[in-house]
Amino acid sequence: METGEKEDNDNPLDETGGKKKKKKKKKKKKATAGNDCDGDEDDVKGENETSEANDEGEGEGDCDIGGEGSSSTKKKKKKKKKNGAGGNVPKTKAHCRGVDGFTDYYVALGQTEPPTIPIENLFQPGSFPKGEIQEHPGDFNRYRVTSEEKRAQERMQEDIYDKVRAAAECQRQVRHWAQSYIKPGIKLIDMCEALENKNRELVAEKGTTQGIGFPTGCSLNHVAAHYTPNPGDDTVLKHSDVMKIDFGTQIDGRIIDTAFTVHFDPQFDKLAEAARMATEEGIRTIGVDVRLCDVGAAIQEVMESYECTIDGKTFPVKCVRNLNGHSMAPYVIHAGKSVPIVKGGDATKMEEGEFYAIETFGSTGRGHVTEDLDCSHYMKNFHAPHVPLRMPRAKKLLSHINKTYNTLAFCRRWLERDDGGSFHLHGQKGRQEKYLGALKNLCDVGIVVPYPPLVDIKGSYVAQYEHTVLLKPTCKEVLSRGNDY
């Protein structure tokens, strides 16, 4: 074979006569062996063995039958390996603090840098990466690990698990890529649009079937949540800012909701660590039949064990007591159950099969948020009443919302895009004109709910981390886990 000859020529032992005689002996043996050879099997072995190991062989797979075809087969296998897992080595680190690992981890999965291949084309159905697996807490849940009945229940849900894992991998690759370009000096509106466009690209946006879960939150400093730039907002990220990136991806309405804190000044490390460790404690504590109030108590204990020093002054880190994690359902980001981050509260138990967004907020302020600033987030009420609308523009806008977003959250920036928020549905003819009055009318009658930014006292800083967790029958799966956090 061509490959075998190349290996022999590269070996310095080929210069000796003894080696050449051995090679002739191989050819003679092949002539007597006829077509009875294991060429395909040894082609596979050849990729994993060293040239020395090949030299020690007795000629298996060195047959002349289909020699050229075997060589091309091996080349194809090598090409497939190059484009698949392990093809490249991640090497890029994030510009910001608060996250770990490499931002281009996905190149080892065969993805490009920057990522351009839709997730559905990168993996075969049923092979999307699983999240982190943890056992349900409590002795009363031990039986779940080995229960055949629980395993059978999981097998019946594999189609749902596959979809949420696909959404999670898309969200994971987008957020890692975003970490590579987020740095001081970038306009927040440019940052959000780049992130959202990449989200649409990798998830292969198809209207409400699959796409963005909700607008990208990039709340700064004392603003804890629900802020994204409106059209005309030219806010620039500064080195002294603490920013919370909160965004999601959905497939069939199943939302992957995660958040992390971006900062560049080391004096905010302890604040970010407090929120991150509190979130990890929340993830560790949750499980089937766990009471929500117990999760809140565990989170608060970890969060408020931290303090941070900013500009020479030491602040205790407080839980933002009126912000919570939440359960999620198809096309409903807040499905009814709230996971507190302080002790006390609801004693309702978590149930098998539920999806949760476990998020915590740590603040150097008073630990309580109020609504303030211009509203950018909106969402159609899942239980919206039927209200007769008199404004033609309100009827037109509601029709656009129903078709493009359903009951998923949206923002004003999306309404002013040429595609109206979905190129798949509208092409370049989806832009909404003179819609503010119509939007206000829909909010006034209760069809659409506004979600203004939530802020602590000015001058304080808030950090946030969040993961999406699925409570499976045998275990819990942290779907959105990555090497960044």
Closest CA to 106 of 84, 78, 124: 84
Residue 352: active-site member: no
Of 359, 419, 456, 484, which is the active-site residue?
Answer: 359
In the block, residue with structure tokens 């909700």? 214
The catalytic position among 42, 169, 205, 257 is 257
Give the dihedral sign, CA 188/194/197/201.
Answer: negative
Clarify whether 241 is annotated catalytic.
no
Considering only the C-alpha atoms of the chain, give the largest distance between any 2 of them, rounded to a whole number of Å: 97
* Among 415, 316, 400, CA closest to 364: 316
- Of 334, 368, 416, 424, the catalytic one is 334
Residue 140 burial by Cβ neighbours in a 10 Å radius (0-12, 13-18, 19+):
exposed
- Closest among 243, 246, 280, 278 to 262, alpha carbons compared: 243
Q: How far from 432 is each of 195, 444, 457, 479, CA to CA, in Å?
A: 22, 19, 35, 35
Catalytic residue among 136, 176, 226, 326: 326
Tokens 């008073």 -> residue: 366
Active site residue 444: no
Dihedral sign (CA 83, 84, 87, 90) = positive
95 noted as active-site residue: no
Q: Is 43 a catalytic residue?
A: no
| Residue in 74, 69, 80 with CA at minimum distance from that of residue 47 | 74
Catalytic residue among 104, 169, 246, 484: 246
The yes-or-no answer on residue 400 being catalytic is no
Are 451 and 378 a contacting pair, CB within 8 Å? yes
Question: Of the residues 466, 467, 477, 484, which is catalytic?
Answer: 466
Distance of alpha carbon 477 from alpha carbon 469, whole angstroms: 6
Catalytic residues: 246, 257, 326, 334, 359, 466
